[in-house]
Amino acid sequence: MQANASALRATSVEGRYHLLVDSITDYAIYLLDPTGHISSWNAGARRFKGYTEEEILGEHFSRFYTPEDQEAGIPARALLTAETEGRFEAEGWRVRKDGHRFWAHVVIDAIRDVSGGLVGFAKITRDLSERKIAEEALKRSEEQFRLLVQGVTDYAIYMLDPEGNVTSWNPGAQRIKGYAPEEIIGEHFSRFYTEDDRVAGLPGIALATAAREGRFEKEGWRLRKDGSRFWATVIIDAIHGQDGNLIGFAKVTRDITEKRQAQQALERAQQELFQSQKMEAVGQLTGGVAHDFNNLLTAVLGSLEIARKKVAGHPDVADLIDNAILGAKRGASLTQRLLAFSRKQDLKLETLNLPDLVRGMSDMLQRSIGPEVEISTTFPLSLPLVKSDPNQLESALLNLVVNARDAMASGGTITISARRTPVGSGQIEDLPGGDYVCLSVKDEGEGMDAETLEKATTPFFTTKGVGKGTGLGLPMIQGLMAQSGGRLTLRSTKGAGTTAELWLPAANEVAAPAPQGEEPAAAAVRPLTVLAVDDDGLVLMNTVLMLEDLGHMTMQAESGAQALDLLEEGTLPDVVITDHSMPHMTGAELSRHLSALHPGLPVILATGYTELPNGDDPGLPRLPKPFSQGQLNEALAKIVG
């Protein structure tokens, strides 16, 4: 080691310089004479360019340049610049001995003697191919990214500066938002937000969140250039420089209005399905309750009618029984409405004149609402007839009037009116296009808010307080309108009253004349032997009492199997009256057994259902529950001729 150091010190300055230059391999360091011919060559030059000293000394340095650069005179221009300015520096492609190119950084310094005369040039070349390749790759990547961003039209992709001003704009942004680049670049991105969002400071919150957390993501309404709204999903990413400082934001916006509408449509469909299933369950429950109530009313009405006959000479008692019969008949009307609501009873559609129907109810309506409320009616001189069930429609109108009265705690006026209105397809939800008569009931009450209005026709929903309403009135009316081919609509605003509208299809018929007086009584029936079958003991006893009071002999059975056993004993009745909804064997099934065993034996089916719950309809004569003694006598008269 000490010997080497001594040898280096003993070497001349020029010798040490040559040792230094020759030991450098990362740079090509060599000398040129004033004309550009090579006069020295180091190890780095050999490694970069591939020439040995013997091959290159005395050659002109222009051979390292590409043919294009040689033709353009760049080598001579480089020497001239170094000579006149003292230094030339540039980057460019150079050529190795084997013909391959490399990217080089070149410095040429003029060398002068003490008198200032040019004695040559010092040339230093560095191979920057790897850096150049990396830069080219980065450039290609940036170009590809630019082309990608510019090619995207389904997303608005643009940049913001740290203050939120737009600094770039892609075609997707132009398509979605409607602004051309020259219209929007430099403008603040808050113009895309609604007025409410701007007042709430949402644009600033979005940027602050992105700057603090690195990202902001949200959905909401945004504005296009034309002022229209669209539902957008927005992502804002913060962009930081190498020093960590915030240099701006990348913002991606997608128009998902159609997706949101599809999702909402799906949710509505699911809600409608749920509502349909709920209504089906309510209908089944209501139908079952109404059936059981019908049985009770059958026993009550029958017993009251028999009792009424026996107290004919006692007016005071007779009046009480008449009131009880009236109450029972109202209960029967309620069960009919319940069955209509649950679709367990068909409507008796008739052609009706609405003004006549309303006038015929005027006294009952006024008595129902009391003196504090006035009823006003308005009808045009000419109004088409409609088709509906008159009893059900009267009940619906009475229900609406009572609801209107309850909505006006301090009194007021209820207006009942009707008008003919052609309806286009889709104009009113769930109502086919056609010619309709709209019967409306309008009050001056407190009205309903949007949430209450939406729930108004939901079964068992009521605003009248505990014990003051069943919540079935409007659903029953809705069921009546649906079965009549019409629609119930409600219009209400909080503090401005409510209008209920019954849309009924106009009928192209003439109304049948109203019956005058009471219906003629059925003809007397010869004494018969009647087998009464019912699993409800009260109904069975009541049926037997009414039959015996009419002069008939009776046989009794509490089930279909018991009835068949009774007939096997040999006694054959003239007529069988059977309930339908019995366990183990229904009335329809009993009828089939009787038809096989005793062809020609008349059977009457007693039921509150027009359409039997299990869909089994044997086509038998019906006796509707609850039935009176007169209806029972009429059914017997028809079946025995």
- Tens digit of each residue's pLDDT (9 = 90 or more) over 383-393: 899 988 887 78
From 329, 324, 414, 432, select the one nearest 377 (Cα to Cα). Answer: 414
Instruction: Specify the pLDDT at position 344.
Output: 47
CATH number of this structure's domain 354-507, picked from the four choices 3.30.565.10, 3.30.1330.60, 3.40.50.720, 3.40.1360.10: 3.30.565.10
236 conformational bin, left if phi > 0, alpha if psi -120 to 50, beta if neither: beta
Condensed to tens digits (0 to 9), the pLDDT of residues 477-510 reads 777 787 778 888 888 888 788 998 998 888 865 4
Element counts in the chain: helices (H) and strands (E): 22, 20
Give mean pLDDT, residues 136-148. Answer: 63
Same fold for the domain at 2-133 and the one at 152-255? yes
The CA–CA distances, whole Å, from 554 to 529, 532, 541, 557 equal: 6, 7, 11, 10
- The type of residue at 212 is R
- Looking at the chain, the whole-number percentage of residues with pLDDT higher than 90 is 30
The CATH architecture to which 2-133 belongs is 2-Layer Sandwich (3.30)
pLDDT at 311 over 80: no
Instruction: Specify the pLDDT at position 531.
Output: 94
Give the CATH fold of the 152-255 domain: Beta-Lactamase (3.30.450)
Instruction: Specify the pLDDT at position 584.
Output: 87
Condensed to tens digits (0 to 9), the pLDDT of residues 343-355 reads 445 567 788 898 9
Confidence of residue 399 (pLDDT cuts 50, 70, 90): confident
Instruction: Specify the pLDDT at position 320.
Output: 73
Question: Is the sign of the CA dihedral 625, 631, 634, 640 positive or negative?
Answer: positive
Please enumerate in sequence order all residues whose Cβ is within 8 A of that of 352, keeping only pairs 6 or more positions apart, or say none: 385, 386, 387, 388, 390, 393, 511
From 250, 95, 267, select the one nearest 160 (Cα to Cα). Answer: 250
Please report, for the chain, the start and end positions of each structural domain, with discontinuous segments joined by +: 2-133, 152-255, 354-507, 529-639
Please enumerate in sequence order all residues whose Cβ is within 8 A of that of 95, keeping only pairs 6 or more positions apart, or say none: 63, 64, 65, 66, 101
Which residues face 373 on adjacent strands?
Answer: 412
Instruction: Specify the pLDDT at position 507.
Output: 82
Give mean pLDDT, residues 298-321. Answer: 74
Are 204 and 162 in contact, with CB atoms under 8 Å apart? Answer: no
For the record, the structure tokens of 366 come out as 């006024």
Determine the CATH number of domain 529-639.
Answer: 3.40.50.2300
